[in-house]
Structure 1
Amino acid sequence: MKIILASSNSHKLKEFKVLLNDYEIYSSNDFIAPFEIEENGKSFKENAKIKSLAVFKALKNEVQENYIVLSDDSGICVDALGGAPGIYSARYSLEANDKNNRLKLISELEKLKLNESFAHYVCALSLGTKFGTFSVNAKMYGKIITKEKGENGFGYDSLFIPANYDKTLAELSDEEKNAISHRFKALKLAKILLKTLQKAYQ
């Protein structure tokens, strides 16, 4: 049983390969040409399922027989902003890139005369398989600050300080980040599903 990650994001692919090192993991780009998926769900879980189903259905039949599609929908929810950016985290700014998304988040907090706020990351994972879809999700709590710190990571990592830490995710090593991240927690749950599915694929 092999896994296809429903993403062309090189940062995500790298993280998943480390966190799921017991499995062979490929990018969906290795099997199909990139195509636009309309993520019109109202939650991280719904959007993750939409992605895994769309990619699974686009695969050839023989690939569907032996591969599982793993999709992830993640984002950050900031308490002071009523949970925003939430499911719109990846496209929060008009330009929809990491740098401008962070700048918009900083700007929204500064409008409220805040330099920090409680926040949490969410990771929803969906497994698209020949037996149907399966979902898990997890969270990481902490706070958002308005001054970027650190060079490691991506997304909002340079603005997020995990609970019980005094450094942003971008100041932590990959090993430190992976040990506490929302994605790591969700993947621990997904591994339980994968072990069960592996028996069905043998």
Structure 2
Amino acid sequence: MLEILIATNNLGKVKEIKDILDSPEIKIITMKDFPHLPKIEEDGKTYQENAFKKAREISEYTGKICLADDSGLEIDYLKGKPGIYSSRWGNSDEERINKVLNLLENIPINKRNAKFVCVVVLVFPDGKIYTVKEECKGSITFSPKGEYGFGYDPIFLVPGYNKTFAELGDKIKNKISHRGKAMRRMVEIIKEISV
């Protein structure tokens, strides 16, 4: 069994990752178990750079196998923004959502295409690194809908369901989301290397 430290303080992400990584091969520990960890500045220019930096630095500090993700919302009309700055586009989920909706005000539905991107990096103390990238395509709604999830979930409309991530609930969201797909691929890698 591998003990893996999830390198995030985002409680929504922790819950989502724990739900997806639920496997007998994996024991999850969180940053709450290490209250004196340094704050990692996400100053990379890509999702991969940010995820790798978080995983590597936390792994070096704790001596643990460390998993980190960096993800973001890329809106076509906004030329890929907010992208790697998704979590820093405001001080709260509500503020970030309102910023997106204001920027897309009066933009028709056919020009509101977007995708979520997630890069997951697993770093071992001995230097081994595994990386996975996944996406989930959709569009941006005209107003928030739904009560589940976190972040931009209430305004991300999923094709085929005609509902936002926040309306779908965790079980369905985790099956189809960018993070869900990336984490399942990482579980397969973990199973292969655990043999």
Same fold per superposition (TM over 0.5): yes
* In 1: Cα distance, 2:194 partner to 2:34 partner: 21
What is the match of residue 169 of structure 1? 165
Check the 8 A contact 1:148/1:159 in 2, yes or no: yes
What is the match of residue 191 of structure 1? 187
Q: How does 1:50-69 map to 2 (within 5 A)?
A: 50-59=53-62, 64=63, 67-69=64-66
Check the 8 A contact 1:115/1:146 in 2, yes or no: no
Sequence identity percentage: 38
What is the match of residue 109 of structure 1? 104
What is the match of residue 121 of structure 1? 116
Shift of 1:34: 4.0
Check the 8 A contact 1:7/1:28 in 2, yes or no: yes
TM-score w.r.t. the length of structure 2 is 0.92
Counterpart of 1:139 (choices 135, 140, 145) is 135
1:46-103 Cα distance to aligned partner (Å, 9 max, x none): 11001101111111xxxx2xx420001011000000000000000012x2x2111111
TM-score w.r.t. the length of structure 1 is 0.89
Greater mean alpha carbon deviation, residues 158-167 or residues 79-88: 158-167
What is the match of residue 85 of structure 2? 88
The 1:32/1:55 distance shift into structure 2, 3 A limit, reads farther
Check the 8 A contact 2:47/2:70 in 1, yes or no: yes
The 1:33/1:146 distance shift into structure 2, 3 A limit, reads farther
Structure 1 letter corresponding to 2:12? H
Check the 8 A contact 2:18/2:28 in 1, yes or no: yes
Check the 8 A contact 1:78/1:85 in 2, yes or no: yes
The 1:114/1:71 distance shift into structure 2, 3 A limit, reads same
SS at match of 1:142: strand
1:160 aligns with 2:156: yes
Check the 8 A contact 1:32/1:58 in 2, yes or no: no
5+ residue gaps, structure 2 = none
1:27 aligns with 2:20: no
Check the 8 A contact 1:28/1:55 in 2, yes or no: no
Superposition CA RMSD, Å: 1.3
5+ residue gaps, structure 1 = none
1:92-131 Cα distance to aligned partner (Å, 9 max, x none): 12x2x21111111111111xx2154000000100101023
* In 1: Cα distance, 2:133 partner to 2:175 partner: 16
Structure 1 letter corresponding to 2:93? D
